[in-house]
Amino acid sequence: MQPLRAWPAAARRGILGLLTDIDDTLTTDGAITADALEALYALAAAGVHVIAITGRPVGWSEPFALGWPLAGIVAENGSVALTRGGDGRLHKRYVQDEVVRRANHARMQQVAQRIVREVPGATVSRDSGGRETDIAIDHSEFMQLPPERIAEVVRIMRAEGMNATVSSIHVNGWYGSHHKLSGARWAVRELLGRELDAEAHRWVYVGDSTNDVLMFEHFPHSVGVANIRRFEAELAFKPAYVTEGERGAGFAEVARAILEAR
User: How would residue 168 be classed by pLDDT, with cut points 50, 70 and 90?
Assistant: confident
pLDDT band at 86 (very low <50, low <70, confident <90, very high): confident
Which residue from 60, 36, 88 is spatially nearest to 252, judged by alpha carbons?
36
- The DSSP letter of residue 167 is -
Residues 51-76, mean pLDDT to the nearest whole number: 95
User: What's the CA gap between 79 and 42, in Å, rounded?
Assistant: 28
Rounded CA gap, 174 and 186, in Å? 18
- Mean pLDDT, the chain, whole residue set: 96
C-alpha to C-alpha distances, 109 to 98, 140, 231, nearest whole angstrom: 17, 21, 29
pLDDT at 246 over 90: yes
Distances (CA, A) of 219 to 23, 200, 234: 20, 6, 19
Instruction: Give pLDDT tens digits for 97-126.
Output: 999 999 999 999 999 999 999 999 999 999
CATH class given for the domain over 2-95+178-260: alpha beta
Instruction: Give residue 17's pLDDT.
Output: 97
Mean local confidence (pLDDT), 221-237? 95
pLDDT recorded at residue 176: 95
- Whether residue 238 is predicted with pLDDT greater than 90 in this model: the reply is yes
pLDDT-derived band of residue 244, with 50, 70 and 90 as boundaries? very high
CATH number of 98-173, picked from 3.90.1070.10, 3.40.50.740, 3.90.1150.10, 3.30.70.1140: 3.90.1070.10
Structure confidence at residue 221 as a pLDDT band (50, 70, 90):
very high
Q: What is the pLDDT of residue 172?
A: 95
Q: Which residues in the chain are classed under CATH 3.40.50.1000? A: 2-95+178-260
Domain with CATH 3.90.1070.10 in the chain: 98-173
